[in-house]
Amino acid sequence: MEQNMMDTIARISGVNLRRCMRCGKCTASCPAFDEMEYHPHQFVSMVENGRIDELLASQGIYTCLSCFACVERCPRNVEPAKLIEAVRLAVIRKQGENHLHAEQIPAMLDDELPQQAIVSAFRKYKR
Ligand code: SF4
Ligand code: SF4
């Protein structure tokens, strides 16, 4: 089960865990550092080490600002923010709360919705 969840999170995120060299630059640039019990570099190593349950129970997945500073700073293109988002999605799906499907999104659009939000929603819900 843990292995399955680990594979699912790695697949959804598209993150190559082995690229991380544990430099900590992602964590050093994280503006939500104080609000997250596990920091971006720890998400990478914890997924790699199969510590999935701890991450699924982490409040940090909700306090991450999705600012992508960790993605910008990473010299190895690991993109830890995508991993955090994948863990958050895994929790939502586990709780059976992911009732929105990509096909339902067009009906919810209005002129003031930023395009970036629409693209992001499609990416999030088509997986
Ligand atoms: S995306 Fe989240 S984890 Fe990454 S720097 Fe921003 S707040 Fe921190
Ligand atoms: S900045 Fe990139 S390589 Fe460095 S610890 Fe974070 S994820 Fe790993």
In this predicted model, what pLDDT tens digit does every residue of 19-37 receive, in sequence order?
Answer: 999 999 999 999 999 999 9
Cα 34 to averaged position of ligand 1 atoms, centre (Å): 11
Q: Whose CA is nearest to atom 1 of ligand 2?
A: 74
Sequence letter at residue 6: M
C-alpha distances (whole Å) from 87 to each of 18, 19, 112 are 18, 19, 29
* Ligand 1 atom 2: residue of nearest CA: 64
Distance 29 CA to ligand 2 centre (A): 11
Model confidence, pTM: 0.77
Q: How confident is the model at residue 126 (pLDDT cuts 50, 70, 90)?
A: low
Name residue 33's amino acid: F
CATH class of the domain defined by 2-95: mainly alpha
Widest CA span in the chain:
44
> Structural domain boundaries of the chain?
2-95, 98-127
